[in-house]
Chain A
Amino acid sequence: MTTTEDRAGAAGRKPPEIVDMNWDPITRIIGNLGIYTKIDFANREVVECRSTSSLFRGYSVFMKGKDPRDAGFITSRICGICGDNHTTCSDYAQQMAYGVKPPPLAEHIVNLGEAAEYMFDHTIFQDNLVFVDFCEAMVKATNPGVLARAERTEAPRGHLHGYKTIADIMRAFNPFEGEVYKEALKISRVTREMFCLMEGRHVHPSTLYPGGVGTMPQPSTFTDYLSRLMGILDFVKQAVAMNDDVFDFFYEALPGYEEVGRRRTLLGCWGAWQNPDVCDYRYETMNDWGKAMYVTPGIIVDGKLVTNNLVDINLGMRILLGSSFYEDWVNEQPFVTHDPLGNPVDMRHPWNQTTVPLPQKRDFDSNYSWVMSPRWYDDKTGDHLALDTGGGPLARLWSTALNGLVDTPYIKATGHSVQISLPRSEKLPETTLEWHIPQWSNTIERNRARPYFVAYAAAMALQFVEQSMGLVRAGQTKTFENFEVPDEAIGCGFHEAVRGVLSHHLVIKDKKIANYHPYPPTPWNASPRDSYGTPGPYEDAVQGQPIFEENGPDDFKGVDIMRTVRSFDPCLPCGVHMYLGKGKTLTTQHSPMYGASHG
């Protein structure tokens, strides 16, 4: 057990009053997720949590034997909200396998497309999915006392966003009626138009290929993108201010709220946006070009950077079973015994994985999910770390800040913070936002990081537009480099999907796919207990969290639990599958011994 912290102090505890509560399916996420908890209402905390996903489609099964060039098109369909991240990551892996480096303009075009994807996805998720949990209607139903206080609390950044009180902001987030809710839907369309300018269509791109892009690099392609980007900057700046106001208010109104969804800082980030001056897609130089990415890769444990070397990150990956509906593959023949640098590759590494589905009855005491349990093996401590991504933005900002490597006109990493500079927009002046490494890896900070990362993506997009226009004006308009599919090759792609770490591992034999395993962020976050008994990050974050909701067991909604789960931005098609919903009281038990054995 490397993950769970015992947050339950022994002193002053009442005899537990345990109720089983489950939410299945969970709404306002992508995919199927179920959250099953045991809640101690006497001590107002969650004592146990299990997360399950109930969908299996079998990409790594049906991709076998197919032409490797099809991989980007097929894997996009893994997910309906971040499919383009898969295509991008697949093309990265294929470029390594084929030994091809796309022209610089193609890299900028992909970077611009992915920047638009972050802006789109984080906006629609934060404002139309997550924020419903913080909107007036929800807070009224779960914490009327907090709403009353919000009505009396002036919004400190009202001069930026225009809302007088915290309750006014909450009203603006009411579903389908609130002003910001509706505006966010419109912004999600503008940002998707920006995406389509670069990648053809959303969410499954049409113009991305291994070796480059088919996008026409006309001056107008970039002008059309830039003018839309400038048009949303006011919204971006205001979103950061509004979110800061609301999240600061929650800490203030509910002392101890920082414990909600808190877990050990165990964050992974695989890096985003290639720098074409450095990146050549060779495995041998992966450490160098990984560090040149505009979001720096890194594994962070308890506030310390363990590594930022993509080779180390790659070799440490382990796919564990323990609670998942699959046959183990350890006795199969390995596909890859050594990496191109001669390092041994573990049998539990994605390059060597064989997926054999075993549909079976769900049993929370043994196997209960279609999600496997990816872990990162720390060879210094021998721990299999259940890394999470903090929903994506938290880990990206944290890793970039701590690494201190990104230094561009718009983004600067300081070692403890990230400075994001945005130019003047219609209403608001030139603004530098600063995201500081927070005290906790918890629900609020996962959510707060999201609008900051939208600002980050907007800022980087400005740089990529400038670089693209520079190349177009210089006549360097080539966007595709030819390649041949080798008889035998391996490749790996590392990218930051919207929700965090994304890797694709590819093995080619006889010019066909012999093995292909995509690992998106959600398998990391939504994983069930592994063979060592270590819970997955959702389970770990929910387990032990206090309950602040004012409702008792009879009309309990579980909003704090849902906030925690949603703070990770679950995406179960990526994970394989999961859910949640209104708590259904299955059994009420009074068993004083319960906490002793499961705490």
Chain B
Amino acid sequence: MSVDSGTHDVATEPSRSEVRDGFDEVTILWISEGMSCDGDTVSLTAAGQPSIEDLVQGLIPGLPKVNLHNKVLSPTLGGEEFLAPYRAAIRGELSPFILVIEGSIPNQNIIQGDGYWTSFGNDEETGQPLTLNWWIDRLAPKAWAVVAAGTCATFGGIHAMAGNPTGSMGLADYLGWDFKSQGALPVVNVPGCPIQPENFMETLVWVLYHAAGAAPPPPLDHMLRPQWLFGKTVHEGCDRAAYYEQADFAKDYTSPKCQVKVGCWGPVVNCNVPKRGWMAGIGGCPNVGGICIGCTMPGFPDAFMPFMDEPAGGSLSSLLIKPYGAFIRRMRGITNAAVNREPKWRHNEPTLTSGYDPYWRA
């Protein structure tokens, strides 16, 4: 049940540009002042394949030199010194740059008067806060690429939950799903709450290879997610799926078995975490006893709540698999018992019984 992409065919793009007409240097302007928790920035620092310091130090062959501006990691003391490249980019004095947005985009239009849901720096004239929306309106049209980091920035996420007061949405909802950056790319969505560290770094590295002229644009699906990362479901990569096939379901969270009846949405969620692990192959979600709550999906979180209840479709499919699963489990049990025995010729007796015959000819 892998999801088909519905976007362009990579094969039609140059796999490697014969003439390297890309950029030698790219600036990353990262704004985490969306409705965010900075969890995607923090997650990014967990990546080891490659790591952020590898990228910043230029240790990956073929990539442009990267100038990273991110609040959490910035060596500056902050304020205007930190904002300088962002202001320069608005004036058109800094290009090319990749704009990374973290956090959902609030609806400023529902505010009467001068208030703000979130801001980033101040207006130089008035000293009043500049909203995130103000920055996006000015930076996105000038950006060579626009990347949404995390489910909040991609689709709205937890802060766009039913009943929220801020009217929050994803970046493509705000800019338009047909938005194209200066580099002719749509918004590149890397969902996840937070982003799986390596998923994000890998996407960023692909975009940078593309910026260097060494790779085609990253292949994205209809929700603008990298296909090679989000093309399969959680269930397709989950090592508890065999329990499912044998209709052997966990009744509570102490069990090592398949968790679909206690809340796991893995069969219908696009995410690679069980297959990839959380970091360095360690951790995960249903593969280590944590129900999938669908945190990479556009429908997150509302479509998946209450999280600890059985998903609506789960009861029917687990019922259907029952007769097959019970039969298969029994048959496998018999075979398993058989292969758990050693052959009878493995012994310490004076006579060899393995069937060896030195004069045997075909």
B-chain residues with CB within 8 Å of residue A55 when the two chains form the complex: 33, 35-36, 117-119
B-chain residues with CB within 8 Å of residue A128 when the two chains form the complex: 45, 73
Rounded to whole angstroms, the CA-CA distance of A357 and B111 in the bound complex is 11
Chain A, Cβ-Cβ closest to B159: A57
Chain B proximity of A204: nearest CB distance (Å): 6
A-chain residues with CB within 8 Å of residue B254 when the two chains form the complex: 212, 214, 477-480
A-chain residues with CB within 8 Å of residue B321 when the two chains form the complex: none
Chain B, Cβ-Cβ closest to A559: B77
Rounded to whole angstroms, the CA-CA distance of A32 and B162 in the bound complex is 25
Evaluate contact between A204 and B193: CB separation under 8 angstroms: yes
Evaluate contact between B162 and A28: CB separation under 8 angstroms: no
In the A-B complex, the 3 residue pairs with the smallest Cβ-Cβ separation, listed nearest first, are A581-B79, A80-B39, A359-B115
Known interface pairs A206-B284, A360-B114. Does A61 touch B56 (Cβ–Cβ under 8 Å)?
no
Partner of A201, one of B71, B121, B273, B301: B273
A579 within 8 Å of B (CB atoms): yes
A-chain residues with CB within 8 Å of residue B301 when the two chains form the complex: 70, 73-74
Partner of A27, one of B45, B74, B282, B293: B74
Among A81, A201, A212, A581, which residue has the most Cβ atoms of chain B within 10 A? A201
Chain B proximity of A598: nearest CB distance (Å): 19
Known interface pairs A62-B163, A176-B53. Does A212 touch B82 (Cβ–Cβ under 8 Å)?
no
Evaluate contact between B41 and A80: CB separation under 8 angstroms: yes
Partner of A582, one of B42, B80, B306: B80
Chain B, Cβ-Cβ closest to A360: B115
B-chain residues with CB within 8 Å of residue A185 when the two chains form the complex: 45, 51-53
B351 within 8 Å of A (CB atoms): no
Chain A, Cβ-Cβ closest to B259: A214
Q: Which of B12-20, B122-130, B354-362 contacts A (4 or more CB under 8 A)?
A: B122-130
Q: Please provide the chain B residues from 33 to 76 with a CB less than 8 Å away from any CB of chain A in the complex.
A: 33, 35-43, 45-46, 48, 51-53, 56-57, 71-76
Chain B, Cβ-Cβ closest to A105: B254
Q: Please provide the chain B residues from 93 to 112 with a CB less than 8 Å away from any CB of chain A in the complex.
A: 111
Q: Which of A17-25, A259-267, A341-349, A530-538 contacts B (4 or more CB under 8 A)?
A: A17-25
Residue pairs across A and B with Cβ atoms less than 8 A apart, 27 shown, are A22-B79, A24-B79, A25-B78, A27-B77, A55-B117, A57-B117, A58-B165, A61-B165, A67-B305, A69-B306, A74-B161, A80-B41, A189-B280, A196-B278, A196-B279, A196-B282, A196-B288, A200-B290, A201-B278, A202-B46, A203-B43, A216-B289, A224-B282, A359-B111, A360-B114, A579-B79, A582-B76
Rounded to whole angstroms, the CA-CA distance of A56 and B46 in the bound complex is 27
Evaluate contact between A25 and B38: CB separation under 8 angstroms: no
Known interface pairs A201-B285, A204-B193. Does A129 touch B307 (Cβ–Cβ under 8 Å)?
no
Known interface pairs A29-B72, A129-B72, A176-B53. Does A584 touch B80 (Cβ–Cβ under 8 Å)?
yes
Evaluate contact between A361 and B113: CB separation under 8 angstroms: yes
Known interface pairs A24-B122, A193-B280, A581-B77. Does A325 touch B115 (Cβ–Cβ under 8 Å)?
yes
Q: Please provide the chain A residues from 128 to 151 with a CB less than 8 Å away from any CB of chain B in the complex.
A: 128-129, 132-133, 137
Q: Please provide the chain B residues from 230 to 272 with a CB less than 8 Å away from any CB of chain A in the complex.
A: 252-254, 256, 259
Rounded to whole angstroms, the CA-CA distance of A53 and B124 in the bound complex is 18
Evaluate contact between A188 and B76: CB separation under 8 angstroms: no
Partner of B78, one of A27, A65, A214: A27
A274 within 8 Å of B (CB atoms): no
Evaluate contact between B115 and A189: CB separation under 8 angstroms: no
Evaluate contact between B118 and A361: CB separation under 8 angstroms: no
Rounded to whole angstroms, the CA-CA distance of A224 and B22 in the bound complex is 44
B-chain residues with CB within 8 Å of residue A61 when the two chains form the complex: 163-165
A298 within 8 Å of B (CB atoms): no
Evaluate contact between A214 and B279: CB separation under 8 angstroms: no
Evaluate contact between B162 and A215: CB separation under 8 angstroms: no
Chain A, Cβ-Cβ closest to B277: A196
Known interface pairs A65-B163, A176-B53. Does A54 touch B116 (Cβ–Cβ under 8 Å)?
yes
Evaluate contact between B284 and A58: CB separation under 8 angstroms: no
A580-595 vs B, CB cutoff 8 Å, 1 = contact: the mask equals 1111101000000000
A11 within 8 Å of B (CB atoms): no
A-chain residues with CB within 8 Å of residue B253 when the two chains form the complex: 207, 209, 211-214, 479-480
B120 within 8 Å of A (CB atoms): yes
B158 within 8 Å of A (CB atoms): yes
B-chain residues with CB within 8 Å of residue A34 when the two chains form the complex: 122
B291 within 8 Å of A (CB atoms): yes
Evaluate contact between A80 and B161: CB separation under 8 angstroms: no
A-chain residues with CB within 8 Å of residue B288 when the two chains form the complex: 196, 200, 206-207, 214-216
Partner of A581, one of B83, B286, B289: B83
A391 within 8 Å of B (CB atoms): no
Evaluate contact between A581 and B80: CB separation under 8 angstroms: yes
Rounded to whole angstroms, the CA-CA distance of A66 and B280 in the bound complex is 35
B-chain residues with CB within 8 Å of residue A586 when the two chains form the complex: 127
A-chain residues with CB within 8 Å of residue B82 when the two chains form the complex: 25, 27, 581-582
Rounded to whole angstroms, the CA-CA distance of A62 and B83 in the bound complex is 32
Evaluate contact between B39 and A83: CB separation under 8 angstroms: yes
Evaluate contact between A580 and B78: CB separation under 8 angstroms: yes
Chain B proximity of A140: nearest CB distance (Å): 13
Rounded to whole angstroms, the CA-CA distance of A582 and B168 in the bound complex is 31
Among B43, B56, B77, B116, which residue has the most Cβ atoms of chain A within 10 A? B77
Chain A, Cβ-Cβ closest to B33: A32
B21 within 8 Å of A (CB atoms): no
Evaluate contact between A54 and B129: CB separation under 8 angstroms: yes
A-chain residues with CB within 8 Å of residue B280 when the two chains form the complex: 189, 193
Among A55, A182, A207, which residue has the most Cβ atoms of chain B within 10 A? A55
Chain A, Cβ-Cβ closest to B309: A67
Evaluate contact between A207 and B39: CB separation under 8 angstroms: no
Rounded to whole angstroms, the CA-CA distance of A581 and B121 in the bound complex is 9
Known interface pairs A185-B53, A214-B288. Does A562 touch B194 (Cβ–Cβ under 8 Å)?
no
Chain B proximity of A475: nearest CB distance (Å): 13
A291 within 8 Å of B (CB atoms): no
Evaluate contact between B45 and A581: CB separation under 8 angstroms: no
B-chain residues with CB within 8 Å of residue A596 when the two chains form the complex: none
B-chain residues with CB within 8 Å of residue A69 when the two chains form the complex: 306-308
A-chain residues with CB within 8 Å of residue B278 when the two chains form the complex: 196, 200-202
Q: Please provide the chain A residues from 18 to 56 with a CB less than 8 Å away from any CB of chain B in the complex.
A: 22-32, 34, 54-56
A482 within 8 Å of B (CB atoms): yes
Additional 5 contacts, C-beta under 8 A, given A359-B111, A582-B77: A83-B39, A201-B290, A362-B128, A480-B252, A480-B253
A63-89 vs B, CB cutoff 8 Å, 1 = contact: the mask equals 011110110011001111101000000
Rounded to whole angstroms, the CA-CA distance of A188 and B284 in the bound complex is 18
A-chain residues with CB within 8 Å of residue B252 when the two chains form the complex: 480, 482
A354-392 vs B, CB cutoff 8 Å, 1 = contact: the mask equals 000111111000000000000000000000000000000
Known interface pairs A80-B42, A192-B46, A582-B82. Does A202 touch B279 (Cβ–Cβ under 8 Å)?
yes
B-chain residues with CB within 8 Å of residue A482 when the two chains form the complex: 252
Partner of A66, one of B119, B282, B305: B305
B81 within 8 Å of A (CB atoms): yes
B283 within 8 Å of A (CB atoms): yes
Evaluate contact between B193 and A57: CB separation under 8 angstroms: no
Chain B proximity of A28: nearest CB distance (Å): 6
Evaluate contact between A80 and B79: CB separation under 8 angstroms: no
B-chain residues with CB within 8 Å of residue A478 when the two chains form the complex: 254
Evaluate contact between A188 and B46: CB separation under 8 angstroms: yes
Evaluate contact between A205 and B290: CB separation under 8 angstroms: yes
B154 within 8 Å of A (CB atoms): no
A-chain residues with CB within 8 Å of residue B203 when the two chains form the complex: none
B-chain residues with CB within 8 Å of residue A78 when the two chains form the complex: 37
Chain B, Cβ-Cβ closest to A572: B38
A-chain residues with CB within 8 Å of residue B286 when the two chains form the complex: 206
B199-233 vs A, CB cutoff 8 Å, 1 = contact: the mask equals 00000000000000000000000000000000000
B133 within 8 Å of A (CB atoms): no
Chain A, Cβ-Cβ closest to B288: A200
Known interface pairs A62-B165, A358-B115. Does A204 touch B80 (Cβ–Cβ under 8 Å)?
no
Among B37, B73, B284, which residue has the most Cβ atoms of chain A within 10 A? B37
B-chain residues with CB within 8 Å of residue A579 when the two chains form the complex: 78-79, 121
Partner of A359, one of B36, B40, B113: B113
